[in-house]
Amino acid sequence: MSDFEGKVVIVTGAGNGLGRAHALAFAEHGAKVVVNDLGGTLDGSGDGDAADLVVEEIKSNGGEAIANKASVSDRDGAKSIVDDAVNHFGTLDILVNNAGNLRDKSFKNMTLDDYDAVLDVHLRGTGYVTHFAWPVMYQKNWGRIVLTSSTSGIFGNFGQANYGASKMGMLGLMNVLAIEGASHNIRVNCLAPGAATRMTASVPGATFDPKDPPAERGPSLVSPAVLYMCTEDAPSGWVMHAASGRFSRSQIFANEGVKFDADEATFKKLMDNIEQATDMSAAVGREPTRRG
């Protein structure tokens, strides 16, 4: 019996690329899937039937799925995604926050509208859908949530100040929710994926057709990490990287530093000891502090 047999899963932004791959993978393993997708363009505008097509694909393979075309960045829309899962399937077990958009420009050329539009979908949208899913999982003492981060936020990438800020924000949200969900068996993790999709095809220098991605960079090669983070024995508070069949983990590290008495904590004292204060050779990993 699969870990996902009969589980109810929401995947946002599941009409194309990574989200579609995740939705298909869950359905293949017996889950009932809410396929959310606005059907829009990369900048988040427009509408279409992308979600319907994925639902048809799942059903043609013998699975169960419904479509939801709401925008995660709209509070009522975000609520409708969770409501559809509960009203149609009776509950919600797993939420994969995948929906995203791109408005890449160097920071000096980026408008505040472009800045806000990306934060609205990635960071606020993720928070909105998770907010409405949380009480369902809290009450049943079981839930698995995946937030989609990116190396663009964790390590940085030119021209993506809005995207990088949103994606690093996922780590902060995960760290808090991993603590708050521990007492009710809600486990929260971050995915940092890499794949050939229409989103990465828009990045300068990309040379592939997003409708026919290279097999070694296919979105389906990322989905195993998502499924792992939603299993019965899933970790919580982890950042998992997945790209081209390679799976790994990154973690925050901190050193011991130096400690001065209050009357010694001066700029001069710090400068005299700056090497010890900033030395990372003996740094250790830090994870969210579990409570409850």
The residues pairing with 252 across neighbouring beta strands, listed in sequence order, are 286
Phi, psi of 106 (to 5 degrees): -65, 155
DSSP for 175-227, written as a single string: HHHHHHHGGGTEEEEEEEEE---HHHHTSTT--S-TTS--GGG-GGGTHHHHH
What is the helix (H) or strand (E) element at residue 62, kind and residue range?
A: none
Q: How far is CA 286 from CA 175, 234, 237, 254, 259, in A?
A: 11, 18, 10, 7, 19
- Which amino acid, residue 45? S
To the query of whether residue 163 is one of the catalytic residues in this protein, the response is yes
Say if residues 51 and 37 touch (Cβ distance below 8 Å): yes
Structure tokens at 257: 């530093």
CB count in 10 Å sphere of residue 91: 15
Q: Which is it for the CA torsion 35, 40, 42, 44, positive or negative?
A: negative
How is the chain split among helix, strand and coil, in percent rounded to 5? 45, 15, 40
Torsion, Cα of 77, 81, 86, 89 (10° steps) = 140
Which residues are annotated as catalytic? 163
